[in-house]
Amino acid sequence: MTTLLRLIADHLDGARTPSQTIAEAYARHRAHGDAAIFITLRPEAEVLAEARRLQAEGPRGRALWGIPVAVKDNIDVAGLPTTAACPAFAYEPEADASVVARLRAAGAIIIGKTNLDQFATGLNGTRSPYGVPRNALRPDLVPGGSSSGSASAVAAGIVPVALGTDTAGSGRVPAGLQNLVGLKPSVGLVPTAGVVPACRTLDCVSVFALTVADAWAVLDVIAGHDAGDPFSRPIPLGRPGAVPPTLRIAVPRPADLDFDADAGAAASFETALARARSLGASIVPLDMAPFAEAARLLYDGPWVGERWFATRDLLARDPEAILPVIRAVIAGRPLPDAAEAFAAQYRLAELAVAARATFRGVDALMVPTAPRPVTLAQMAADPIGQNTLLGRYTNFVNLLGLCALAVPVSLAGDGTAAGVTFIAPSGHDAGLAALGSAFHAASGLTLGATGAAMPVSPARALAATEGMIEVAVVGAHLSGMPLNRELTGLGATFLRATTTAAGYRLFALAGGPPARPGLIRVAEGGAAIALEVWAMPPEGFGRFVAGIPSPLGIGTLALADGTTVKGFLCESVATDDARDVTAFGGWRAFVAAQASAA
């Protein structure tokens, strides 16, 4: 499996079809031979039929057109059971989770539901009655959890991206142990409606990918406020930019670093420090005491009560249906009373103030994703202790409302991987993506367990960073349409599909065929118009603009997310004898309607 952005480019220019991509995903799954990755895998014929329908429709500006995605089995997918890795808990959801609905609307194809530590309780990936997904790098190591199946599916190259969840590190630890990117967004940035709760106030939907650019492409689709989700927050996503020239990265003081006597893991973190410095970063030692104390609250405080609350009916009805190790975590001790719960919340608020203070003057905190790899034998001998070890640098993040991005650092000859996690305050997801992309690209590592080389210019695919220009297209330059090759021929890279703000009207200009689109901004009676944003090198942008015929030109477009971008606008006088096609919502829909009527 190649990267998501490479697949999208191949789909758009016809180098491969979505149905070919789906067939290859199933072939890789068969060749990999790990039945424990998926709890439910959709029949190949059914998924191929869906891919062929998408092919026939064309991309229509869908950012993930034809991309196969695996979904952790605590996230609802209509038509597939949700088990949370507990057969007695399983149910058939009537609707997709919000994130799944957004993926499908963007053209993604869900191929199945992946294995997990039961009720998303665990960081090791061995706590499931459906078996243990193999660590794709080395089968005697734990895959990491709780999103074990999702991480293994991406690392093995079965799918380019997969959804996990993250409460205490479940979207980061598996990435660190399998040479992947694990993106854990700001709490509330991505809706969790339709996700089986672990700790509902802390849960995040996370993304596993081979590159940061791929993970961001998914986040760009699934992020955004959901008015029907009481835990969704209107956090601006932003766009990744250039890494600051005065980059300052905080790291734990030597006294706060613990690799559990693993010399290889310690050496990997030294490599990470050197790589950060090579990006121009200044390293700032940080006292981790507030973070460590917050981490202890997760399992010693009232948040265990949230896990109990999510499973209380099953605990009352059939406690033996829950694995003993999970039952011990959720119901193995008395729940805190109300006074204790409030005391813990007050203390967490104080720790959050202290944590925010540590981020003043630094761009991110960098910690090891996990202290060291853990073997299956070590986990079997000490299931609680080894699981606790894996969460040493992760448990505090959601409690303190932070965002995080796990990226690979090294891949040893013995098949062990090590990574770091960049952490920042809520709403700084785009800054972490820019930093993480540059850091990962500098590693030169192969991707996951696939052996595939790092893309030549992953930062260019991530966004129009320094030296690139974003340009929006609304008509025949859209992906899959006749003039799109003008963009790709000038070195443009697809970034995202979105819409204008609701203040525009779209016209089919006179003088065809073929009809030409004209977009104008209006003071009233406007609507949101579908468009695509591409990144172009300056020389390509100059040649592109020079070739635009009157009455069209390049102006500044306001987008639905509140940002602006350069894009096609039309002189209003040219619309006097033009057809108003605003009601179609976009040029692609108008052209399709014309073809159907012909």
pLDDT for 532 beyond 90: no
pTM: 0.83
Sign of CA pseudo-dihedral 492, 561, 108, 209: positive
Q: H or E element: which one contains 283?
A: strand 282-286
Sign of CA pseudo-dihedral 577, 578, 583, 585: negative
Angle between helices 429-443 and 263-278 (to 10 degrees): 110
Q: Pairing state of beta strands 504-509 and 516-521?
A: antiparallel
Q: H or E element: which one contains 410?
A: strand 403-411
**Percent of the chain having pLDDT more than 70?**
97
CATH T-level fold of 467-597: Hypothetical upf0131 protein ytfp (3.10.490)
Helix H, strand E, coil C: the string for 529-558 is: CEEEEEEECHHHHHHHHHCCCCCEEEEEEE
pLDDT for 564 beyond 90: no
The one-letter code for the residue type at 488 is T
The one-letter code for the residue type at 551 is P
Range of weakest confidence among 298-302, 320-324, 335-339, 495-499: 495-499
The one-letter code for the residue type at 519 is L
State residue 529's pLDDT score.
93
State residue 519's pLDDT score.
93
Sequence-ordered alpha helix ranges (H) in 33-140: 44-57, 98-105
Looking at every residue in the chain, the average pLDDT score rounds to 92
Question: Alpha-carbon distance 531 to 63, whole Å?
Answer: 11
pLDDT for 470 beyond 50: yes
State residue 1's pLDDT score.
64
Buried b (16+ CB within 10 A) or exposed e, 66-88: bbbbbbbbbbbbeebbbbbbbee
pLDDT for 118 beyond 90: yes
Q: Pairing state of beta strands 161-166 and 181-184?
A: unpaired
State residue 456's pLDDT score.
64
SS3 category, 318? coil
pLDDT for 460 beyond 50: no
State residue 220's pLDDT score.
93
**Percent of the chain having pLDDT more than 90?**
73
Between the ranges 296-300, 372-376, 470-474, where is the mean pLDDT highest?
372-376
**Residue 573, CA distances (Å) to 136, 141, 474, 528 in order:** 61, 67, 19, 21
Do the beta carbons of residue 103 and residue 77 sit within 8 Å? no
Radius of gyration of the chain (CA): 24
**Domain coordinates of the chain in residue numbers?**
4-295+321-461, 467-597
The one-letter code for the residue type at 21 is T
Question: What single DSSP character describes residue 365?
Answer: E
State residue 61's pLDDT score.
78
State residue 513's pLDDT score.
65
Between the ranges 5-14, 78-87, 323-332, where is the mean pLDDT highest?
78-87
Question: Alpha-carbon distance 176 to 178, whole Å?
Answer: 6
Look at residues 444, 469, 485 and name the one whose alpha carbon lies nearest to residue 556: 469
Higher pLDDT, 389 or 468: 389
Which residues are known catalytic residues?
72, 146, 170
Between the ranges 146-160, 471-485, 514-528, where is the mean pLDDT highest?
146-160
The string of pLDDT tens digits covering residues 309-318 is 999 999 999 9
Sequence-ordered alpha helix ranges (H) in 139-286: 148-155, 173-177, 212-222, 263-278
Token code pair at residue 265: 């893991």
Tokens 């057969």 sit at which residue?
87
Measured in degrees and rounded to the nearest 5, phi and psi for residue 520 equal -130, 155
Please report which confidence band the pLDDT of residue 432 belongs to, taking 50, 70 and 90 as the band edges. very high
Look at residues 109, 105, 116 and name the one whose alpha carbon lies nearest to residue 49: 109
The string of pLDDT tens digits covering residues 223-238 is 999 999 999 999 999 8
Question: Alpha-carbon distance 237 to 561, whole Å?
Answer: 8
What's the N-to-C CA distance of the chain in angstroms? 40
Question: Alpha-carbon distance 210 to 38, whole Å?
Answer: 19
The string of pLDDT tens digits covering residues 185-211 is 999 999 999 999 999 999 999 999 999
Token code pair at residue 118: 């039961």
The string of pLDDT tens digits covering residues 257-304 is 999 999 999 999 999 999 999 999 999 999 999 999 999 999 887 898
**CATH no. of 4-295+321-461:** 3.90.1300.10
Count helices and strands in the chain by DSSP H and E runs: 20, 19
Tokens 């065929």 sit at which residue?
513
CB-based burial label for 204 (10 Å; 0-12, 13-18, 19+): buried
Question: Alpha-carbon distance 504 to 523, whole Å?
Answer: 8
Look at residues 189, 279, 195, 302 and name the one whose alpha carbon lies nearest to residue 237: 189
Tokens 């294995």 sit at which residue?
115
Question: Alpha-carbon distance 81 to 78, whole Å?
Answer: 8
The string of pLDDT tens digits covering residues 23-60 is 999 999 999 999 999 999 999 999 999 999 999 998 88
pLDDT for 560 beyond 90: no
In this prediction, residues 242-253 reach a mean pLDDT of: 90
Question: Alpha-carbon distance 422 to 366, whole Å?
Answer: 5
The string of pLDDT tens digits covering residues 103-112 is 999 999 999 9
> Cβ–Cβ contacts within 10 Å for residue 316, how many?
8
Higher pLDDT, 333 or 46: 46
CA atoms in the 13 A half-sphere facing the CB of 112: 22
Q: Can you spell out the DSSP letters for 69-84?
A: EEEETTB--TTS-B-T
Q: Is the peptide bond before 146 cis (omega within 30 degrees of 0)?
A: yes
Please report which confidence band the pLDDT of residue 467 belongs to, taking 50, 70 and 90 as the band edges. low
State residue 311's pLDDT score.
94
State residue 464's pLDDT score.
45
**Residue 383, CA distances (Å) to 118, 139, 142 in order:** 14, 18, 11
